[in-house]
Chain A
Amino acid sequence: MAIAQAPNPSPVSWLQRWRQPLEAVALPVAALLSALILFGIFCAFSGANPFAVYGSIYKAAFGNWSAWQNTLIRASPLMLTALCTALPARLGLVIIGNEGALVMGGLAAVVAGLQLGTGLPAPLTQILMAIAALCGGGLWIMLAGALRHYRGVNETISSLLLNYIAIALMNHLVEGPMRDAEFVTKPSSAELDPGLWIGNLPGSRIHFGLIYGLIACLIAYVLIQRTTFGFAARTAGGNIRAARIAGLPVGKLTLAVCFLGGSCAGLAGMVEIAAVQKRLNASLVSNYGYAGILVAFVSRHNPLATVLVAILLGGILASGGILQRSHNLPDATVLVFQGIVFLCVLFSDSLYGRLPWFQEKAVS
């Protein structure tokens, strides 16, 4: 390269340089558009005007500040539960125990909150509750990680089973030992002291859980992309044997990553209790965990993308009501919509690097 080439000022090369980054944006957007078209066809078959449906979805999910709040409220637990899958995925583990970790986190937080009561200053108790939730969820998923590492048990299946066990345990406790007989509408634990509730962001109805979610995603991103720990995890995830030869402590990494993932879902459980339910009961199990798995995969386990995908799913969920109310479509329509969107986005991933237009042309 001895001869310095004059920089080529033509706009073509500018486009060239941006083609590849553009791909990362264009593909998901194209996937969303095609999902909308498919869903529109589906709606047309069921007798609704697709364009009116699009308008309603937009209005209900992102149309104004109130709609945005609706979307963000639904998105915030998903950011946390998604990390439960996204973090272990960096180590090559497929964890689907998000729901169980969320329940265990909520359970631990309630136990801590009720035990401590108002004896300590409220902020301190809240921190202790959060620690309990982090440990509850974290240890639960760490169990799956430990079984994987020490006993070779498939972590996908064991974490799936742990979901059912956690839910059964919670149901047992709220109907038996922890039940508050005064609360008549459903079997529940006693109520947390109002001082321990998590409030709303000023000027909105979004609770602080959203901030927790954003911070957790940011920390996860930094941890994975910018620290030696993250580097070690990614290396081990790429090739376990090579990691062992390189002297990486694979066992410790597995346990640590699983703990971190589970603790995020556990925190989601605590937020859901302290900000929304105020007491422990079966309403804690409302599919945030399973939705979180999907969010993690669709965002390709990138914690920053997780935020965007969670907001997207929050928007879809927020628009579910308007489909029923304004278009006379049944309640299952929003499930079909979700399914189509996620299948399209998953497919769009496979097109990376395949569409010639996005590839840099070889410099002749």
Chain B
Amino acid sequence: MAYPRQPRFSRRQVVRGLMATTAFGVVTKFGTACSPGTDAGSAPGDSSAGGGEDLMVGFIYVGPKDDFGYNQAHAEGAAAMAANVAGIKIVEEASVPETTAVAETMRSMIEIDGAKVLFPTSFGYFDPYILELATEFPDVQFFHAGGLYQEGVHPDNVGSYFGYIDEAQYVAGVVAGATSKSGKLGFVAAKPIPQVLRNINAFTLGAKSVNPDITTQVIFTGEWAEPVKEAEATNSMADQGIDVVTCHVDSPKVVMETAEKRGIFSSGYHANQAPLAPEGYLTGAEWDWSSIYTRLGEEFLAGKTLMAGDIPHILRGGLADNFCKLSDYGPAVSEEAKAAADAAKDQLIKGELIIYPGGLKDNNGNVVVPEGEGYKQDNIELEKMDYLIEGVQGSIEG
């Protein structure tokens, strides 16, 4: 299959460009010399561009930072923070496993590179590694993606941030539900942890809001990145008459391409994968870390910290707060589907729509959300989700 290709910049070029911009920003800052809250002692040693004035921020990724998925989304956000906020320098390390290696990486970033803020981005970094290091370095701020910060239990200098990307998944589910002809959707998932289950359930609830009979078939591959199994899973879904697939794996590329080859629709995740599936791509739930990281970067420079309480320990937000966004609708999305999706999106942004209504049942018939109001997005119960809702075919027992 031949896809139209337009000339685009390679990532390296873009990153270099961003670096250059940063350097320029730093130089400008020097010229005007106007930084009141100079943080002495930061960035000793190898700092090449600026000197001791910049705030050093460390980013740690569990996989390669150009995986076209989870890690790349964070890395691009990090690059944006460095580019948009003059006075911030970033230091990055990729492919750091969830062992003592990440503790050592955090320590070297603090001790050798002089990092004052760390963003360890993998779920599994939180307990025990971040918690241990945070106790040892109380003046360094640790921001963890997805962790469950508990007031009073966890150190003061730990914060947890994550997007309610299930809002975007809900809207994507609306599009999928309105587009599917067979009434069967597919979800290729890595591991049955709450973040993943939440996306599966929100996607299904979105679809059910336009077509109550719709079902979602889940296939767990068991690993965050296992391309052959992901492709096989997509293929067997297509064999079963499923006509829209989405996924929650580290690199969605293979799912999108396989769906396109099989002539079924796909809904993206992590980043915009529309170029991979020009015909079948409906929409997708994308992270928007650039805006969040830029905002946090500005707060750091303004002297705000977790410890002082200027930055909330639990930082969450959905479509309204630009934590996540939706890919532009693909050519296969009908006008009605667009209208339904836009309406849902509007309601979510205004906070009028509750994704998890009271009396919601799981796929074994148990009521998982008590009758009444339903769970709002900030309800802590949602972050411990351990069920698949009615209409999802699958089981979380390994």
- Do A and B interact directly, with beta carbons closer than 8 Å? yes
Binding site for B on A (CB under 8 A): 56, 59-60, 66, 70, 73-74, 171-176, 179, 181-187, 272, 276-278, 281, 283, 286-287, 317-318, 321-322, 324-326, 330-332
- What residue of chain A has the Cβ atom nearest to residue B65's Cβ? A331
Q: Please classify the interface of chain A as helix (H, G, I), strand (E, B), loop, or mixed, using the class held by over half of its residues.
A: helix
Find out whether the CB atom of B384 lies under 8 angstroms from the CB atom of A185. no
Shortest 9 CB-CB contacts between residues of A and residues of B: A175-B398, A331-B95, A185-B123, A176-B398, A331-B94, A283-B98, A286-B97, A184-B194, A70-B104
**Given A74-B101, A181-B386, A286-B99, A60:B147 Cβ within 8 A:** no
- What residue of chain A has the Cβ atom nearest to residue B191's Cβ? A187
Chain B contacts of A326 at CB under 8 A?
Answer: 46, 113
Decide yes or no whether B64 CB sits under 8 A from chain A: yes
Find out whether the CB atom of A283 lies under 8 angstroms from the CB atom of B398. no
Find out whether the CB atom of B193 lies under 8 angstroms from the CB atom of A325. no
Complex Cα–Cα for A307 and B285 (A): 49
Chain A contacts of B105 at CB under 8 A?
Answer: 321
Decide yes or no whether B146 CB sits under 8 A from chain A: yes
Partner of A174, one of B109, B148, B386, B398: B398
Find out whether the CB atom of B127 lies under 8 angstroms from the CB atom of A317. no
Interface positions of B from 192 to 250, Cβ below 8 Å from A: 192-195, 222
Complex Cα–Cα for A171 and B128 (A): 20
Decide yes or no whether B93 CB sits under 8 A from chain A: yes
- What residue of chain B has the Cβ atom nearest to residue A323's Cβ? B93
- What residue of chain B has the Cβ atom nearest to residue A284's Cβ? B99
Find out whether the CB atom of A185 lies under 8 angstroms from the CB atom of B126. yes
Decide yes or no whether B358 CB sits under 8 A from chain A: no
Decide yes or no whether B362 CB sits under 8 A from chain A: no
Find out whether the CB atom of A276 lies under 8 angstroms from the CB atom of B191. no
Decide yes or no whether B383 CB sits under 8 A from chain A: yes
Chain B contacts of A182 at CB under 8 A?
Answer: 384
**Given A172-B398, A184-B193, A322:B108 Cβ within 8 A:** yes
Question: Distance in Å from the Cβ of B167 to the closest Cβ of chain A?
Answer: 19
Complex Cα–Cα for A66 and B192 (A): 38
Decide yes or no whether B361 CB sits under 8 A from chain A: no
**Given A181-B384, A187-B193, A324:B123 Cβ within 8 A:** no
Find out whether the CB atom of A187 lies under 8 angstroms from the CB atom of B398. yes
Question: Distance in Å from the Cβ of B378 to the closest Cβ of chain A?
Answer: 16
**Given A60-B108, A70-B108, A283-B97, A187:B92 Cβ within 8 A:** no
Complex Cα–Cα for A291 and B149 (A): 35
Question: Distance in Å from the Cβ of A330 to the closest Cβ of chain B?
Answer: 8
Decide yes or no whether B107 CB sits under 8 A from chain A: yes
**Given A185-B126, A326-B46, A66:B107 Cβ within 8 A:** yes
Proximity bits, B78-102, A CB within 8 Å = 1, else 0:
0000000000000111111111110
Question: Distance in Å from the Cβ of B358 to the closest Cβ of chain A?
Answer: 22
Chain B contacts of A186 at CB under 8 A?
Answer: 98, 123-124, 191, 193
**Given A321-B93, A325-B109, A326-B46, A185:B127 Cβ within 8 A:** yes
Chain B contacts of A318 at CB under 8 A?
Answer: 104
Decide yes or no whether B112 CB sits under 8 A from chain A: yes
Decide yes or no whether B335 CB sits under 8 A from chain A: no
- What residue of chain A has the Cβ atom nearest to residue B146's Cβ? A185
Complex Cα–Cα for A331 and B60 (A): 11
**Given A175-B192, A183-B127, A187-B192, A324:B104 Cβ within 8 A:** no
Find out whether the CB atom of A171 lies under 8 angstroms from the CB atom of B398. yes
Chain B contacts of A183 at CB under 8 A?
Answer: 127
**Given A172-B398, A176-B397, A331-B94, A321:B104 Cβ within 8 A:** yes
Question: Distance in Å from the Cβ of A44 to the closest Cβ of chain B?
Answer: 18
**Given A184-B383, A276-B99, A283:B193 Cβ within 8 A:** no
Proximity bits, B103-126, A CB within 8 Å = 1, else 0:
011011101110000000001101
Partner of B112, one of A184, A187, A281, A322: A322
Complex Cα–Cα for A176 and B64 (A): 29
Complex Cα–Cα for A103 and B86 (A): 47
Chain A contacts of B193 at CB under 8 A?
Answer: 184-187
Question: Distance in Å from the Cβ of A63 to the closest Cβ of chain B?
Answer: 9
Complex Cα–Cα for A165 and B112 (A): 41
Complex Cα–Cα for A70 and B111 (A): 12
- What residue of chain B has the Cβ atom nearest to residue A184's Cβ? B194
Interface positions of B from 336 to 378, Cβ below 8 Å from A: none
- What residue of chain B has the Cβ atom nearest to residue A176's Cβ? B398
- What residue of chain A has the Cβ atom nearest to residue B397's Cβ? A176
5 of the cross-chain contacts (CB-CB < 8 Å) are A60-B112, A175-B191, A186-B123, A276-B99, A331-B95
Question: Distance in Å from the Cβ of A62 to the closest Cβ of chain B?
Answer: 14
Complex Cα–Cα for A183 and B105 (A): 24
Chain A contacts of B194 at CB under 8 A?
Answer: 184
Complex Cα–Cα for A179 and B193 (A): 11
Complex Cα–Cα for A70 and B104 (A): 6
Find out whether the CB atom of A325 lies under 8 angstroms from the CB atom of B398. no
- Further 8 A-B residue pairs, CB within 8 A, beyond A182-B384, A185-B147, A185-B193: A175-B192, A183-B127, A184-B193, A184-B383, A277-B128, A281-B124, A283-B124, A324-B94
Complex Cα–Cα for A183 and B383 (A): 10
Chain A contacts of B46 at CB under 8 A?
Answer: 56, 326
**Given A176-B397, A185-B127, A325-B91, A73:B191 Cβ within 8 A:** no
Complex Cα–Cα for A272 and B103 (A): 14
Complex Cα–Cα for A183 and B124 (A): 10
Complex Cα–Cα for A330 and B46 (A): 18
Complex Cα–Cα for A66 and B104 (A): 10
Complex Cα–Cα for A171 and B223 (A): 10
Chain A contacts of B127 at CB under 8 A?
Answer: 183, 185
- What residue of chain A has the Cβ atom nearest to residue B115's Cβ? A325
Find out whether the CB atom of A331 lies under 8 angstroms from the CB atom of B64. yes
Complex Cα–Cα for A184 and B127 (A): 10
Chain A contacts of B222 at CB under 8 A?
Answer: 171, 175
Find out whether the CB atom of A278 lies under 8 angstroms from the CB atom of B128. yes
Chain B contacts of A56 at CB under 8 A?
Answer: 46
Complex Cα–Cα for A176 and B112 (A): 42
Partner of A324, one of B93, B98, B191, B384: B93
Complex Cα–Cα for A281 and B127 (A): 12
Chain B contacts of A184 at CB under 8 A?
Answer: 148, 193-195, 383-384
Chain B contacts of A325 at CB under 8 A?
Answer: 91-93, 108-109, 112-113
Chain B contacts of A330 at CB under 8 A?
Answer: 64, 94
